[in-house]
């Protein structure tokens, strides 16, 4: 087991990882930019190192600074959290060259899954169902038109190097195809320095359903059920739940087994998420995230398994102790992402939190790094916390969530809490009847005052 883990992240996830380390009796090193000197993860860690000025590229993404921090403190492993360097294969390689363990999968697996075309080909080879589309990149416009006609419109042109919803264009018919190709290519070139694109069938009313996996790199892999993350704004998840209201036990077992078997064959190590679009009873792979996800707590709430604890144990070389038959799903959990934003316009709202009263009670978990008097810096993501609620049934979970949202007080800044107060009372949400377009449509037709 490791002696000392450096947590290469900030905010709620740095704290989340720190808690797992403390429970395992492992010493912790926090790193921070000058803007985060007063952050909670810095206060609670055993040691802390300032790694640079506020912009992330000069601090949280600064590999030489992070290496120096490992050197100074003698950390023998690094947990990257999510975002920042968590899916950076080069960072994983550099750490290993310095005999420091990257808590995550191998650099090779990060690389394969980071390239969308290669990821899709790998998924297909491993028996995971994929969205119908081109076999790899399309090079000429003639090829693109022919493939799109074969698949049938509407189609989606996607950047191979894509991420964050960029480099994607829908073509509803043949006339729109040339335009979609050129704008996807130029956006991809600008954002990722790589203009290769591929084509997929565009699904009209899918849900986003993702399967959590855990492997030990020694041939063992299990799945921990799914999360439904269909409530999205601009391809960003807003509300996540487990299990999905759209699946039954049979479809869950089926897709879970396909994914777990695939990860065992790949010899995957650590936690990972296989993301699917789900429409008319069929699953279509879109991508794999080779890291811990923001929404991992909903899975922890229904399985009782601490994913970060498992991640650390596996990274230290331990074989997986949990078998698939040990995994049971208990009740229902929902997570709301609390952002420092205007809940109607989503404009960022950094600044000082003058009053902070999170809810509590049975089945309630608040993962957050903020506190009363904390000044939210303007340099980073607007996520300031996550409210995660568990109930024995989805109905009980929703009742508890409503109660928690009423109790939650955040003053001094604006937050997305009022948005969730509206959503929790919506009939479609109560019925679990929503797809990936639901929230955008609802926001466009039911504007509310913040």
Angstrom distances, CA of residue 379 to CA of 32, 48, 54, 235, 276: 13, 20, 7, 21, 31
Find the binder of ligand ADP among 15, 160, 294, 436 (CB under 6 A). Answer: 436
Which of 156, 274, 308, 401 is the binder for ligand ADP (CB under 6 A)?
156
Stretch that binds ligand ADP, among 59-67, 160-168, 212-220, 266-274 (CB under 6 A): 160-168
Q: Binding to ligand ADP by residue 165, rule CB under 6 A?
A: yes
Burial of 131 (0-12, 13-18, 19+ CB in 10 A): buried
- What is the Cα–Cα distance from 97 to 435, expressed in whole angstroms? 44
Among candidate residues 111, 227, 291, 365, the one labeled active-site is 291
Nearest distance from residue 117's CB to ligand ADP, in Å? 12
Q: Which stretch binds ligand ADP (CB under 6 A): 78-86, 157-165, 250-258, 356-364?
A: 157-165
DSSP string, 42-108: HHHSSEEEEEESSSGGGTTT-HHHHHHHHHHHT--EEE--SSTTTT-HHHHHHHHHTT-EESSS-HH
Residue 354: CB minimum distance to ligand ADP, A:
35
Q: Are strands 155-163 and 166-171 parallel, antiparallel or unpaired?
A: antiparallel
Q: Is 285 helix (H, G, I), strand (E, B) or coil?
A: strand
Binding mask 130-149 for ligand ADP (x = CB under 6 A): -x------------------
- Judged by CB under 6 A, the number of residues near ligand ADP is 18
* Residue 291 designated active-site: yes
Q: Rounded to the nearest 10 degrees, how much is the dihedral formed by the CA atoms of 305, 405, 434, 342?
A: -110
Stretch that binds ligand ADP, among 156-164, 264-272, 313-321, 394-402 (CB under 6 A): 156-164
Q: Which is nearer to ligand ADP, 258 or 436 (CB)?
A: 436
Kindly state the smallest distance separating residue 208's Cβ from ligand ADP, in Å: 5
The two beta strands, 332-339 and 155-163, are: unpaired
Beta strand 269-279 with 351-352: parallel, antiparallel or unpaired? unpaired
Beta strands in 248-358 (DSSP E): 269-279, 282-289, 332-339, 351-352, 355-357
Q: Cα 396 to the chain's mean position, in Å?
A: 26
Question: What is the footprint of ligand ADP within residues 193-252 (CB under 6 A)?
Answer: 200-203, 206, 208, 235
**Which CB sits closer to ligand ADP, 14 or 159?**
159
- Nearest distance from C-beta of residue 383 to ligand ADP, angstroms: 16
Token pair recorded at residue 135: 């076999």
Q: Which is nearer to ligand ADP, 168 or 315 (CB)?
A: 168
- Return the number of the residue (5 or 119) whose C-beta is nearest ligand ADP: 119
Cβ neighbors of 258 (< 8 A, separation 6 or more) are 127, 128, 129
Site residues for ligand ADP, 259-278, by CB under 6 A, read: 275, 277
Q: Which of 31, 263, 286, 315 binds ligand ADP (CB under 6 A)?
A: 286
Q: Which residues bind ligand ADP (CB under 6 A)?
A: 131, 156, 162-165, 200-203, 206, 208, 235, 275, 277, 286-287, 436
The residues annotated as belonging to the active site are 291
């Amino acid at each position: 087991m490791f002696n000392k883990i450096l947590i290469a992240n900030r905010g709620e996830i740095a704290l989340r990882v720190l808690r797992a380390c403390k429970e395992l009796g492992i010493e912790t090193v926090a790193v921070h930019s000058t803007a985060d000197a007063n952050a909670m993860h810095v206060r609670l860690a055993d040691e802390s190192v300032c790694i640079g000025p506020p912009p992330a590229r000069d601090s949280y993404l600064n590999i030489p600074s992070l290496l120096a921090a490992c050197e100074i403190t003698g950390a023998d492993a690094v947990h990257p959290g999510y975002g920042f360097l968590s899916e950076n294969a080069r960072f994983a390689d550099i750490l290993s060259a310095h005999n420091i363990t990257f808590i995550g999968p191998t650099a090779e697996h990060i690389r394969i899954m980071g390239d969308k075309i290669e990821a899709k080909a790998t998924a297909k080879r491993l028996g995971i169902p994929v969205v119908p589309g081109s076999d790899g990149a399309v090079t000429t416009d003639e090829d693109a038109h022919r493939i799109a006609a074969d698949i049938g419109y509407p189609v989606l042109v996607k950047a191979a190097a894509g991420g964050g919803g960029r480099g994607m264009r829908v073509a509803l018919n043949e006339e729109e195809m040339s335009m979609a190709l050129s704008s996807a290519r130029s956006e991809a070139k600008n954002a990722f320095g790589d203009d290769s694109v591929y084509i997929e069938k565009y699904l009209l009313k899918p849900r986003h359903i993702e399967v959590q996996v855990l492997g030990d790199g020694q041939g063992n892999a299990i799945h921990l059920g799914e999360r439904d993350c269909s409530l999205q704004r601009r391809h960003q998840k807003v509300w996540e739940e487990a299990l999905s209201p759209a699946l039954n036990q049979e479809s869950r077992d089926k897709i879970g087994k396909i994914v777990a078997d695939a990860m065992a064959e790949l010899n995957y190590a650590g936690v990972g998420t296989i993301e699917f679009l789900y429409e008319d009873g069929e699953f279509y792979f879109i991508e794999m995230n080779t890291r811990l996800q923001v929404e991992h707590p909903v899975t922890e709430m229904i399985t009782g398994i601490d994913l970060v604890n498992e991640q650390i144990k596996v990274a230290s070389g331990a074989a997986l102790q949990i078998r698939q038959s040990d995994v049971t799903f208990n009740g229902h959990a929902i997570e709301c992402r609390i952002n420092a934003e205007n809940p109607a316009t989503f404009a960022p709202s950094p600044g000082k939190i003058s009053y902070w009263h999170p809810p509590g009670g049975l089945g309630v978990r608040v993962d957050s790094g903020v506190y009363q008097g904390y000044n939210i810096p303007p340099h980073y993501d607007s996520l300031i916390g996550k409210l995660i609620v568990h109930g024995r049934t989805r109905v009980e979970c929703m009742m508890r969530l409503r109660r928690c949202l009423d109790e939650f007080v955040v003053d001094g800044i604006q937050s997305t809490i009022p948005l969730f107060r509206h959503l929790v009372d919506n009939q479609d949400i109560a019925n679990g009847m929503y797809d990936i377009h639901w929230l955008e449509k609802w926001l466009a037709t039911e504007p509310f005052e913040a």
